[in-house]
Amino acid sequence: MKVLKVDHIGIAVKNLEESLNFYTEVLGLKNEGIEVVEEQQVKVAFLPCGDSELELLESTTPDGPIAKFIEKNREGIQHIALRVDNIEEALAYLKEKGVRLIDEKPRYGAGGARIAFLHPKATNGVLLELSERE
Ligand code: ZN
């Protein structure tokens, strides 16, 4: 398994448009466009930050994972994504090591990336996402 870099940091927000104002108007980051990822019940915006990105996530349903996260923890950092060179290999390796996974198989995330989440119990409480992009 090879980790290439921090791909992005996922931030759960209640209102994407409002949050974007701060990141674009105040911090001067560029919004690469808003995308709805049906499977994960989220609306996301990616803001490149040098070699990695910030991902703002708003729930599209009152009972989606991001809505539940905000209910429990308020808005804030929800996950950290690591870019790997080969996600199948990484998942097979982690499984062999007995690491608890949320996704045993990769699924599609925003921007066509292939992603998989590790269980926070295996990562000292951090929701880690693995991400592979072309
Ligand atoms: Zn993410």
Q: Where are the domains of the chain?
A: 3-132
How far is the centre of ligand 1, averaged over its atoms, from the C-alpha of 26 (Å)? 23
pLDDT of residue 60: 97
According to CATH, the topology of domain 3-132 is 2,3-Dihydroxybiphenyl 1,2-Dioxygenase; domain 1 (3.10.180)
pLDDT of residue 74: 96
Nearest partner of 66 among 44, 49, 33, judged by Cα: 44
How far is the centre of ligand 1, averaged over its atoms, from the C-alpha of 74 (Å)? 18
How far is the centre of ligand 1, averaged over its atoms, from the C-alpha of 35 (Å)? 12
pLDDT of residue 110: 85
Per-residue pLDDT of the chain (134 residues; tens, 9 = 90+): 999 999 999 999 999 999 999 999 999 999 999 999 988 899 999 999 999 999 999 999 999 999 999 999 999 999 999 999 999 999 999 999 999 999 999 999 888 899 999 999 999 999 999 999 98
How far is the centre of ligand 1, averaged over its atoms, from the C-alpha of 97 (Å)? 23
Query: Which residue do the tokens 């929701």 mark?
Result: 127
How far is the centre of ligand 1, averaged over its atoms, from the C-alpha of 53 (Å)? 10
Contacts of 93 (CB under 8 A, 6+ apart): 1
How far is the centre of ligand 1, averaged over its atoms, from the C-alpha of 96 (Å)? 24
Distances in Å between the alpha carbon of 80 and those of 7, 84, 114, 126, 132?
Answer: 8, 13, 15, 7, 14
pLDDT of residue 25: 97
Exposure b/e, 106-123, CB count within 10 A at least 16 = b = beebbbebbbbbbeeebe
pLDDT of residue 64: 94
Those residues whose beta carbon sits under 5 angstroms from the ion ligand 1 are 10, 55, 81, 129
41 within 8 A of 61, measured Cβ to Cβ: yes
How far is the centre of ligand 1, averaged over its atoms, from the C-alpha of 94 (Å)? 19
How far is the centre of ligand 1, averaged over its atoms, from the C-alpha of 8 (Å)? 6
DSSP 3-state of 92: helix
